[in-house]
Amino acid sequence: MFHPALKTPLCEQLGIEYPVLQAGMGFVAIGDLVGAVSEAGGLGCLGAATMSAPKLREEIATVRRKTDKPFAVDLLFAKGGSSSAQPFTDDVAESIEIVFEEKIPVLVSGLGDPGPIVDRCHDAGMKVLSLTGNTKNALRLQDSGVDAVIAQGYDGGGHTGRVGGMALLPSVLDALNIPVLYAGGVGDGRGLAATFVMGGQGVWCGTRFIATYEAWGHDNYKNAIVEIGDEGTIRTRCFSGKPCRMYANGTTSAWENPELQATIEPFPLQMRNVSKWLGKDPYMAGRRDGEMAVGACAMGQSAAVINAVQPAGDVVLQIMEEATQALERVHPMG
Ligand SMILES: Cc1cc2nc3c(=O)[nH]c(=O)nc-3n(C[C@H](O)[C@H](O)[C@H](O)COP(=O)(O)O)c2cc1C
């Protein structure tokens, strides 16, 4: 039996059993992973920012074949459409329409402000969650009407901010009056227990769910998460132009050189720049082909406590079990 206190109000709002949310990671978070996490009682989230419209529909169908429980879609709300009435890029606007047509229960914004469509989401019965790396932006998102904010600390995998998690979560909690979840560095249930004790209502885990059978990615990528310790990643601008926490390898160390750093182009142009330098697409080399010595493989410091590649559903239940044990150490259920 899991600790009853872990059934937070946000679980009720989202219609899920456990406050364990799987991060909507580009390329990695496909329908198989999302379906497995939601079916186990957590909230799976499709990493739809990198999906074409047909691919998004296909992955939604895969989730629905695996579960009838709630799940989410994550998009990056990049600004700028072809008409002045459209606040987001044409690709994002197309994905948003699919989210409405398919009646997806939860929409997550990994970047930018979903404010212009929050009322429409609520009218359709959807919940909206937004990621932030600092308190100022968290306040802006609350003003936009989102249902909950996910505060992501510096230790997190992928694009990440400057504020460490232990400072960020309480700061955001003090500033906001809506539910707050925590992301960044949560590799096991102790992170969920700590989040809960601070006042957070759940965790959003990325790296932990890459090391699962259902995630999309080469086995070398998944195994690297199991193998590295707390110093095995680096926050670098070399792959995308924005600070991004990645597996530390030959490419990341070469780009620590000040002369190369001076040539880094702004997001997303750096992707083309680094591909030219390497002679191939570093993202495909890493996550698809498993070339860990040179490829781009996003992962976070939580890899330090991830010790096995497992079924995603088992990960959800294990995080709950570990969080229960951690809370029991402080206050036995009796
Ligand atoms: C491989 C990878 C891809 C990611 N892609 C996205 C994305 O497309 N959208 C998004 O909102 N966040 C993305 N993130 C960040 C995650 O949503 C999440 O906040 C982060 O993984 C949490 O830190 P953790 O990895 O330590 O659990 C990505 C992270 C990783 C590791």
Q: What would the pLDDT profile of 87-124 be if each residue is shown by its tens digit? A: 899 999 999 999 999 999 999 999 999 999 999 999 99
Kindly give the number of the ligand 1 atom that is closest to the alpha carbon of 50.
8
Residues 6+ apart with CB under 8 A from 247: 221, 224, 228, 232, 233, 286, 292, 297, 298, 299
Check residue 334 and give its pLDDT: 66
Check residue 252 and give its pLDDT: 98
Mean pLDDT of the chain: 96
For 98, 148, 164, the CA distances from 103, given in Å and listed in that order, are 8, 19, 35
- Interstrand relation of 244-247 and 158-159 (parallel, antiparallel or unpaired): antiparallel
For the residues 138-154, what does the mean pLDDT come to? 98
Cα–Cα nearest to 317, from 68, 66, 41: 41
273-322, pLDDT tens digit by residue? 999 999 999 999 999 999 999 999 999 999 999 999 999 999 999 999 99
48-67, pLDDT tens digit by residue? 999 999 999 999 999 999 99
> Residue 255 above 90 pLDDT?
yes
How far is Cα 108 from Cα 127, in angstroms, rounded to an integer? Answer: 8
In this prediction the pTM is 0.97
Helix (H, G, I), strand (E, B) or coil at 282: helix
Kindly give the number of the ligand 1 atom that is closest to the alpha carbon of 23.
17
Which residue has a Cα nearest atom 3 of ligand 1? 25
For the residues 32-60, what does the mean pLDDT come to? 97
What domains does the chain contain, in order, with CATH numbers? 4-215+306-330 (3.20.20.70), 229-298 (no CATH)
Residues 6+ apart with CB under 8 A from 102: 57, 60
Say how many Å lie between the CA of residue 127 and the centre of ligand 1.
Answer: 20
Confidence of residue 268 (pLDDT cuts 50, 70, 90): confident
State the number of CA atoms in the 13 A half-sphere of 316 facing the CB.
23
183-218, pLDDT tens digit by residue? 999 999 999 999 999 999 999 999 999 999 999 999
How far is Cα 165 from Cα 156, in angstroms, rounded to an integer? Answer: 9
Helix (H, G, I), strand (E, B) or coil at 200: coil
